[in-house]
Amino acid sequence: MGIVRKTSRSKKSKDPLLGKVVAGRYRLESLLGEGGMGVVYRARHVLIDRVVALKLIRPDLRGETHLRAWMVREARAANRVDHAHIVDIHDVGETEDGELYLVMEYLIGDSLSSQIAKGPMPIARAVDILEQMTAALARAHDLGVVHRDLKSDNIMVTARGGRKDFVKILDFGLAALTRDPRLAPKGAVFGTPEYMSPEQARGEDAISSSDLYALGVLFFEMLTGRLPFRSGDRDELLDMQRTANPPKPSKYRSDIPEHAERIILKLLEKKPEDRFRDGHHLKEELKEMQRTLPSREWDQSTDVAPIAPPPPPPAQNPGVVEWSRTAANFLRAVARAYPDGNAPTEVQGASDQIWELASRASRLEGELESHSKKLETIEKRGRALRAEIGRKVEDLAGEESRALRDASAERDSLSQLVLKLKRAKKAQQAAEAEVKLADSNVERIRRGYEALGVARAQCDVFAEVARDYERRARSKEDTAAERRKQIEELRAQLK
């Protein structure tokens, strides 16, 4: 729902926006919470009776024009990715007062931070939650979107499809800000220090690997119940992210598998190139680890915060209902005042006009409801198309990732072989020199030619194997390049 923390407003003070209809269709029913820049309400679409979460910029920040740009970016980023584990954005627009609003799916569940506060998680549960986050971010990165502010407050653990640990990533407000220098000036530090990558802490642009670093922090936090780096001073915390080696999670929990610890420490590497190549690489590691873990019993036992039942939906648009009631009351008053039906011409004319207006309002409401449903159908088709493109991109990106990793492995093997080839050539040169210096010493000549033969044979074998490594590496790189071309063609369809 985009909620970062519960609201601190007094329960006794009535929110003046409650009951208000935003943009003529979203009735605000209750205040859900407040974040760093937004206020989130439970709302209901009065025409199609859909419960949603509606975000507005906090009243004290509504003069900050850049926040409007962030909210629009959040909507675009989430809709561009369109993944099951990323919150759905239904609508974005302006209120009658010119304030921007964002409409999201309404989620029943708990934040990951609340779950972590209960204590370290079972290994299998933490891996499952991490795998879902990784899958969502892999899709986002494939489509050119970097979240930039992953943290436990921005992750919802909800119930869906019989599972209580169904993950939803929220708040893409900082996503891909690097593309707009007006929103992200060079050297500016954006994000949450506890989860910030070293490159972000240096004021550099966030990249996909920056999100992977945040996943490492989250994995550490889920398994140990604490953050890898802690300090009450922001600058000290940023310096720790830049320079300090992370502690081993096994220091705080003895039953953490070695595989899990390796994954965490690799994700928390200071250099982006030392982390996993991409989300697909990490996802494969997690899938492999899941095969060694117990079955997912937590899906039946996980505690999720209870939510109060929703109020009953209104039967019609409240404005139309009120207008119809007023018209009916007026007509009844006229009938009582003139029981013989001989009302003055101007009164009868007003009665006819009011009746016509009430009928027209009811008819227009029906047309509006029909158009709203048609629009929703069109939006569903658009979402289905984006999701299909996203799945194709995800498959291609997975193949690209594996091809690049295979090519890198071939190149590493080639580098090792080149060193052996150099040593073999030196041995060949030494053997040739030995033969030249042998003069008439038969034994020395024999040993020289014998060594020369071995060295030449080694050079030939190493050279042939090196050519094989080179061919395989180029083949993998060509495959990766072809997949990248296909990915870019699909991404162009989302612009």
273: Cβ contacts below 8 Å, ≥ 6 apart: 209
Catalytic choice (149, 153, 165, 211) = 149
Q: Where are the beta strands (DSSP E) in 325-476?
A: none
143: Cβ contacts below 8 Å, ≥ 6 apart: 80, 81, 390, 393, 491, 494
Tokens of 56: 């507005």
Whole-number Å distance between alpha carbons of 358 and 42: 30
Whole-number Å distance between alpha carbons of 458 and 420: 9
Output the CA angle 238-240-245, nearest 5 degrees.
Answer: 145
Q: Phi and psi of 236, rounded to 5°?
A: -65, -40
Residue 395 annotated among the catalytic residues of the structure:
no
Tokens of 374: 């048609």
Could you tell me whether strands 26-34 and 38-45 are parallel, antiparallel, or unpaired per DSSP bridges? antiparallel
Question: Hey, how many other C-beta atoms are within 10 angstroms of the C-beta on 37?
Answer: 19
Whole-number Å distance between alpha carbons of 485 and 470: 22
Q: Is 470 exposed, middle or buried (0-12, 13-18, 19+ CB in 10 A)?
A: middle
How distant is the alpha carbon of residue 320 from its chain centre? 40
Q: Is 200 exposed, middle or buried (0-12, 13-18, 19+ CB in 10 A)?
A: buried
Q: Within 13 Å, how many C-alpha atoms sit on residue 91's CB side?
A: 23
| Residue whose C-alpha is closest to residue 237's, from 185, 197, 273 | 197
Whole-number Å distance between alpha carbons of 110 and 166: 11
Catalytic residues: 149
